Amino acid sequence: MISLFAEPFEADEPEGSAVRGSQYMSRKDLQRIGLALVIFGIVAFPVYQHYKRQGEKSVCSSNMKAMGQALLAYGVDNDERLPPAYYPDANGDPALHNGLPVTWATLAQSGMSKRSTFRCPSATADESAKVTPYFGSDPIQLTYGMFAGAAGRTDRQYERPNESVLLGETSNHGAHETFDPLPLGVNDGFLIGYDVTNAQGQDLKAVLDEIKLDLSRNAGDSSKLGLKEPSFVTRLAFYGSKQGKFNGSAEARHDTGIHVIFIDGSLGVIRAPAAEVGDRYRWKNP
């Protein structure tokens, strides 16, 4: 009787040849394969993360270029003036439409390319501000802010428009320990502040009155002033800057820093030590 489990006959196989090994992998083989996969994963993961970050940074810079072009296009139709940072209500707070602020991004949306968005892929959900859309029913998810000093201005008002910041990467409502001393409701990541009200959490008029008083007391000796000129900006995506300390310990959203768009539409990157307001609302070069 022929066994159903007998080895198949091979006509060309020499008589007495050794029985072939099992067609199934042993446990040791599986362990070796598993170890190889683990080692490969350990080596490959940092490479994957690197290229993932590079891809996100590229998308972010593309988004910012599109926003800059949209704002410049807005100026062409509005006496060369940039849009307001937001529409204020009777109290000066951001006016709300369906519970969301109406901002520069609302006005820029119609000029954005279809492949660009208002959200950096490296930003977390809590960093995103929600603002009123120009069209559609879904809120704009926004991780970029407009510099308040540029709102409503023209490029002719800047001596160096290639160094004066228009847009920058922001983190909403102090997320990730970002500097936000004067929150504007629950959605404030659309705005980058530039004056002492944002820098020190004080009323601007009271601060200016105190500066004038110090000047009269000290005969104009600025070295004796009790208050310093505005130096910090708010809501930038520099993590760990909660106390207004923009130094080397503040981590940026990207490994090289954060993206900014200048008044002339060009793209730049700054690190935390450069995140200070200089003369004529310029940010210091890194």
pLDDT score of 158? 76
**Average pLDDT score over residue span 96-114:** 93
Going by pLDDT thresholds of 50, 70 and 90, the confidence category of residue 28 is confident
The per-residue pLDDT for range 194-247, each reduced to its tens digit, is 654 444 444 445 555 655 665 565 554 544 444 444 456 889 999 998 887 787
Tell me how far apart the alpha carbons of residues 188 and 170 are, in angstroms, rounded to a whole number: 9
The per-residue pLDDT for range 173-187, each reduced to its tens digit, is 999 999 888 888 899
Tell me how far apart the alpha carbons of residues 47 and 40 are, in angstroms, rounded to a whole number: 11
Q: Are 236 and 169 in contact (CB under 8 A)?
A: yes
What dihedral angle (degrees, nearest 10) is formed by the CA atoms of 85, 90, 96, 102? -20
pLDDT score of 120? 97
Percent of the chain with pLDDT over 90: 36
Beta strands 140-142 and 165-169 are: unpaired
Domains of the chain: which residue ranges? 27-194+230-281
What are the backbone dihedrals phi and psi of residue 183, each rounded to the nearest 5 degrees, phi first? -60, 145
In 3D space, the residue among 86, 66, 91, 96 whose CA is nearest the CA of residue 145 turns out to be 86
> What string of DSSP letters covers the chain?
---TTSPPP-TTSPTTPPPPPPSSPPHHHHHHHHHHHHHHHHHHHHHHHHHHHHHHHHHHHHHHHHHHHHHHHHHHTTTTPPPPSB-B-TTSSBPEETTEE-BHHHHHGGGS-TT--SS-TTS-GGG-EEE--SSSSSPEEE-EEEEGGGTT--GGG-S-TTTSEEEEEB-GGGGGG---SS--TT--TTEE--SHHHHHSS-HHHHHHHHHHHHHHTTT-GGG-SSPPP-B-SSBSEET-TTS--STTSEESBTTBEEEEETTS-EEEE-GGG-BB-GGGPBPP-
pLDDT score of 52? 79
